[in-house]
Amino acid sequence: MSRCRVPSLVVVVGLITCGRPPGAGAGAAPGAGDRSRAPGDTGARTAAAPCRPGETAVVVDTTEHRLTLCEGGQAGESFPVALGSGGVDKRRTGDSKTPLGVYPLGAPRASQDYHLFVPVAYPTAAQARLGYTGSAIGVHGPPRRFAGVLAVLVPVPLPDWTAGCIAVRTDEEIERIAAWLRSRSAPHIRLVAFHSDLDR
């Protein structure tokens, strides 16, 4: 079971009302720009070019809060995501940070809390030898008690509310990601912090 924290209704309503701008508050990535969207825009779109040549993977640009499905080096669908409330570069259990790096992905599975959950194999063996701790990191849908509310009321960019996971805003989005993963072999996820990392 994922340990990603579910926000209280009070917090969600407060974020809807206040409309915190991108980059405000703890955990915001440096250099994050205005990711606001036009009315009626669902947030899902074809990304510019976050994929490495020949790469087939899920790529998360944590600066832009964007998850992109890359196949053969070509960017496919892209979705806005919420990350850990503590920021990025996870090192310890309970730091509420989203890890950076390349990790194998497990098979998508049903989740009582988030509709679908795709396990991220954090920490790697190398990270564990360095003392990195933590578990139950994954890509998942919205929390059950707010399913539907996030898509309608919470603006893009999504507020970072998880305990380190990568969360999309609707059940349909996580279903599309899961379907894409099920049709590909040996999928992995690459989580990067800044645009410059995309080419490394």
Q: Give the pLDDT confidence score for residue 155 in this predicted structure.
A: 60
**Sheet strand arrangement including 45-46:** 45-46, 74-80, 66-71, 57-61, 188-192, 101-104
How many CA atoms lie less than 13 Å away from 44 in the CB half-sphere? 14
Residues sharing a CB contact under 8 Å with residue 146, sequence separation 6 or more, in sequence order: 6, 7, 9, 12
CA dihedral 62, 17, 15, 118 (to 10 degrees): -70
**Distance between CA 68 and CA 62 in Å, rounded?**
11
Q: Give the pLDDT confidence score for residue 194 in this predicted structure.
A: 61
Q: Which token pair is 9?
A: 């209704």
Q: Decide: pTM greater than 0.95.
A: no
Full pLDDT tens readout for the chain, 200 residues:
545 654 432 223 222 222 222 333 333 333 333 343 433 344 444 445 689 999 999 999 999 999 999 999 999 999 999 999 999 999 999 999 999 999 999 999 999 999 999 999 999 999 999 999 999 999 999 998 776 666 666 666 678 999 999 999 999 999 999 999 999 987 999 999 865 454 44
DSSP-derived secondary structure for 162-177: BSS-EE-S-HHHHHHH
Q: Give the H or E element holding residue 111.
A: strand 109-111
List the domains of the chain with CATH numbers. 9-18+42-199 (2.40.440.10)
Q: Which token pair is 150?
A: 């996030």
Measure CA of the first residue to CA of the last residue in the chain; give whole Å: 33
Measured CA distances, 108 to 165, 177, 179 (Å):
14, 9, 9
Measured in degrees and rounded to the nearest 5, phi and psi for residue 117 equal: -135, 125
Q: Give the pLDDT confidence score for residue 185 in this predicted structure.
A: 80
Residue 102 near residue 189, CB atoms below 8 Å: yes
